[in-house]
Amino acid sequence: MTRAEMSSDDEDTPLSQTISRKNQRVRKIVPEEDSDYDSDDVLSKQPKKKKTKTLSKEKKIKVKSDSDDDDDEVMSKKLEKKKKKKKTKTIKKSIKKEKETENDLKEEENNDDEEEDKEESYKWWEEGDVKDNGWTSLVHNGVMFPPEYEPLPSHIKLYYDNQPVELPPEAEEVAGFYAALLETDHGKNPVFQKNFFNDFLQILKENGGTLNGIEIKSFDKCDFSKIYNYFEVLKEEKKKLSAQEKKELRLERQKEEEIYKFCELNGRKEQVGNFRVEPPDLFRGRGKHPKTGKLKRRVHPEDIVLNLSKDAPIPKPPKGHKWGEIRHDPNVQWLAMWRENIFNSFKYVRLAANSSLKGQSDLKKFEKARELKSHIDSIRRDYKRSLKSKVMLERQKAVAIYLIDVFALRAGGEKSEDEADTVGCCSLRYEHVTLQPPNIVIFDFLGKDSIRFYQEVEVDKQVFKDLIIFKRPPKQPGHQLFDRLDPSILNKHLQSYMPGLTAKVFRTYNASKTMQDQLDLIPNEGSVAEKLLRYNAANRTVAILCNHQRSVTKGHAQSVQKANFRIKELIWQRIRLKKSILQLDKKLRKKNPKFYAEIDDLTKEDEIEIHEKIIERENEKYQRKFVRENDKRKFENEELLEEKVLNEWLEKVEDLKKEFAEEIKTGEIVLKPTLNTVEKLEKQIERLDLRIETSSIQLKDKEENSEVSLGTSKINYIDPRLSVVFCKKFGVPIEKIFTKSLREKFTWAIESVDENWRF
């Protein structure tokens, strides 16, 4: 019995305890009018109060150029103007700060003619070594709250035991969260239902129960379908809306975001990442998560801690509210934070991926991985030796590092009972590893995000022996394979080789190393498309190494089936053509029996099935055409097509059907006048051959790729400089490999390497 099975039930007590404890933190929601907060753009409205050295220059600019300085856009304008790239990139950081103001000012005057929109980016990577994370000045506008709950229209209700229920808005909101998921996997998951229902009842109780005296006791008697349907209608309406109105809505949204989207870090404009506070919802835990479905409560300004410069203006909280706390901690990268109620852990608002801070961390990460290059040999030598160590702990360390190094396992920290049962290296258990002499190991476990890790591999002989030892009785299923180990012990050991070396560095190192090796194998020839294919193949190798998967999309099975059928149909067509040839000249079969052999592969059942599908498809085609045509005519106030017209079309299909039936009966194919010679038929067959070929390859590619996610390794593991070098060397435009946001994230890489750079 696994831990998950043992723990999944009988959680009633702990769960309800959590709920009631959390309840003390619940705040009453302020009436709507009150909460119509207008967060002022403190950055632009109070620029004069800024005392920060790095900002002083802005004042001058403004004095110089801007008289209506309370404009909302002041900040962006100012920042754009001063964003001029410093040509004097050798300025030492230490003295930079003091001189910055002067320098900037001087340059400001000199560079006024530079294009305004080139602005942006501070090229930190051109300034020698990266400074330690943290900031000297941080100014921002706080966070954006989700809209208040809007009650459902009065005719949309939850039904209990077939009776409409009057819910207080607070409870209705929660019911709505569930209703929205009614038809999803979450909605159908019993654990999710149970957790949701507990919390729902709790909220209901807190708010005085139902308003019409109905007492809700059993989940099974709840009918959420009315609410669900209503949401579906809303979705439809939103989709239909599709005019330019959609664009207007988007613009409005963007305008609201505007002030939160940017902040000022060390005097420079930078993008904020997740400035939207997470809206309340049901927690969607992955895998067999014991807490999935629990209510994630609304976050209020009072829950939020802001982090900014001491002298930065404090953003206005929503009307009638106060911030939880204001902090000035320059050693952390977050702008705001709050505690969530599911695990009592923190959520952070941080800078966007394209920010200097993130870029610097990224560069550091890859440089650390590269540093491992010069230690990896001795590390490998050592762990190979330690595989035979007399000290158990040493052996376990050695095997663990081996697994992390060779199979790219994660460290595998300890997890608590109220999380999904997933493991990494150190937390592997007896049952996750099967040993098959002489040296085959089968890994089968759930890793991060409950993604299955399944591999049958050959391992080092001594590793195999050690694993046998680690599994020796009295150990049994449920027991830790590495009972003396945890990530911190492992990491401590690793640091003795190299400062900052931890288990996760191996993943980065091996991913990038693999990519480099794979790219080295690609010949510099062929079209850009071919090169891209090869790049993606290399990328895929890495993704497979890291076990980056994606679930096949809902339509995948169907679309594969469809593609398969299309191929089948093409083959049928080919056979039909071949039959046609034989009808013209029977003797040809003897001359080339192989060519005609596939005719016998086609069974009557197959044939009938294909016929039916084609008929069905044709019918649908005309039905759709009819509906569409009439929709159009209705819209344009024209006369509608009569049913008669449709029937005429369908007649044609009937004819085809008869033709097929005849074909089945007699085995004779009626030749089309355009296809009535052996030559013409053969040519047609050739064309079909090609189509079948390409369709098959495409399908295979699709299937192979359907479960592999290339993105994660591209974003997190493959040193972007590898891709940049590849593009430069092979004449592939970088846009083919990095999307716009990736190009922004990796500007430091794109602008800093030449084609000789190697990982």
Nearer to DNA, 47 or 187 (CB): 187
Regarding 451 and contact with DNA (CB under 7 A), the answer is: yes
For residue 449, the minimal CB distance to DNA (Å) is 4
CA 119 – CA 84 distance, rounded (Å):
6
Nearer to DNA, 210 or 307 (CB): 307
- Identify the residue among 337, 463, 542, 749 touching DNA (CB under 7 A): 337
Nearer to DNA, 49 or 628 (CB): 628
- Identify the residue among 296, 384, 465, 691 touching DNA (CB under 7 A): 296
Which range of residues in 6-14, 62-70, 330-338, 679-687 is near DNA by CB under 7 A? Answer: 330-338
Specify whether the CB–CB gap between 158 and 206 falls below 8 A.
no
Report cis status (omega within 30 of 0) of the bond before 438: yes
CB atoms < 10 A from the CB of 335, how many? 26
CA 366 – CA 368 distance, rounded (Å):
5
Regarding 330 and contact with DNA (CB under 7 A), the answer is: no
- Identify the residue among 9, 598, 741, 758 touching DNA (CB under 7 A): 741
- Identify the residue among 415, 484, 657, 691 touching DNA (CB under 7 A): 415
Q: 77 in the Ramachandran plot: left (φ > 0), alpha (ψ -120 to 50) or beta?
A: alpha
Which range of residues in 31-39, 88-96, 124-132, 280-288 is near DNA by CB under 7 A? Answer: 280-288
DSSP state string for 538-578: HHHHHHHHTT-B-PPPTTHHHHHHHHHHHHHHHHHHHHHHH
Structure tokens at 232: 């579906």
DSSP 8-state code for residue 49: G
Instruction: Provide Rg for the chain, Cα atoms.
Output: 33
Residue linked to tokens 């790049």:
535
Q: Which H helix or E strand runs over 306?
A: strand 305-307
Nearer to DNA, 307 or 386 (CB): 307
- Identify the residue among 464, 717, 746, 759 touching DNA (CB under 7 A): 717
Nearest Cα neighbor of 55 from 218, 232, 253, 264 is 264
Specify whether the CB–CB gap between 481 and 430 falls below 8 A.
yes
Regarding 379 and contact with DNA (CB under 7 A), the answer is: no
Segment 616 to 675, residues that bind DNA, using CB under 7 A: 628
Regarding 694 and contact with DNA (CB under 7 A), the answer is: no
Q: Which H helix or E strand runs over 368?
A: helix 356-371
Asked about 717 being catalytic, the answer comes back as yes
Angstrom distances, CA of residue 269 to CA of 83, 119, 305, 381: 8, 11, 22, 48
Specify whether the CB–CB gap between 415 and 427 falls below 8 A.
yes
CA 347 – CA 521 distance, rounded (Å):
43
Segment 3 to 42, residues that bind DNA, using CB under 7 A: none
Residue linked to tokens 């209990």:
160
Which range of residues in 32-40, 42-50, 381-389, 735-743 is near DNA by CB under 7 A? Answer: 735-743
Nearer to DNA, 415 or 589 (CB): 415
CA 718 – CA 712 distance, rounded (Å):
9
Interface with DNA: number of residues (CB under 7 A): 81
- Identify the residue among 139, 222, 403, 411 touching DNA (CB under 7 A): 411
Nearer to DNA, 264 or 421 (CB): 421
CA 745 – CA 121 distance, rounded (Å):
11
Pairing verdict, β 222-223 and 433-436:
unpaired
Specify whether the CB–CB gap between 8 and 191 falls below 8 A.
yes
Regarding 711 and contact with DNA (CB under 7 A), the answer is: yes
Which range of residues in 70-78, 93-101, 357-365, 601-609 is near DNA by CB under 7 A? Answer: 357-365
For residue 701, the minimal CB distance to DNA (Å) is 10
Q: 719 in the Ramachandran plot: left (φ > 0), alpha (ψ -120 to 50) or beta?
A: beta
- Identify the residue among 101, 103, 439, 502 touching DNA (CB under 7 A): 502
Binding mask 245-274 for DNA (x = CB under 7 A): -x---x----------------------xx
Binding mask 107-146 for DNA (x = CB under 7 A): --------------------------x-------------
Nearest Cα neighbor of 750 from 740, 539, 531 is 740
- Identify the residue among 480, 508, 512, 747 touching DNA (CB under 7 A): 508
For residue 543, the minimal CB distance to DNA (Å) is 8
For residue 383, the minimal CB distance to DNA (Å) is 16
DSSP state string for 720-744: HHHHHHHHHHHT--GGGTS-HHHHH
- Identify the residue among 255, 286, 388, 613 touching DNA (CB under 7 A): 286
CA 439 – CA 465 distance, rounded (Å):
8
For residue 188, the minimal CB distance to DNA (Å) is 12
For residue 669, the minimal CB distance to DNA (Å) is 24
For residue 441, the minimal CB distance to DNA (Å) is 19
Which three-class secondary structure state does DSSP give residue 444? strand
Which residue in 160, 178, 402, 717 is the catalytic one? 717
For residue 211, the minimal CB distance to DNA (Å) is 29
Nearer to DNA, 404 or 575 (CB): 404
- Identify the residue among 84, 365, 657, 729 touching DNA (CB under 7 A): 365
Which range of residues in 32-40, 104-112, 198-206, 342-350 is near DNA by CB under 7 A? Answer: 342-350
For residue 409, the minimal CB distance to DNA (Å) is 8
Segment 529 to 568, residues that bind DNA, using CB under 7 A: 546-551, 553, 555, 559, 562
Segment 175 to 214, residues that bind DNA, using CB under 7 A: 184-185
Nearer to DNA, 316 or 548 (CB): 548
Nearer to DNA, 111 or 274 (CB): 274
DSSP state string for 395-412: HHHHHHHHHHHHH-----
Nearer to DNA, 89 or 246 (CB): 246
- Beginning with the edge strand found earlier in the chain, give each strand of the sheet holding 305-307 in spatial order: 325-327, 305-307, 336-339, 346-349
Which three-class secondary structure state does DSSP give residue 50? coil
For residue 95, the minimal CB distance to DNA (Å) is 26
For residue 588, the minimal CB distance to DNA (Å) is 33
**Residues with catalytic roles:** 717
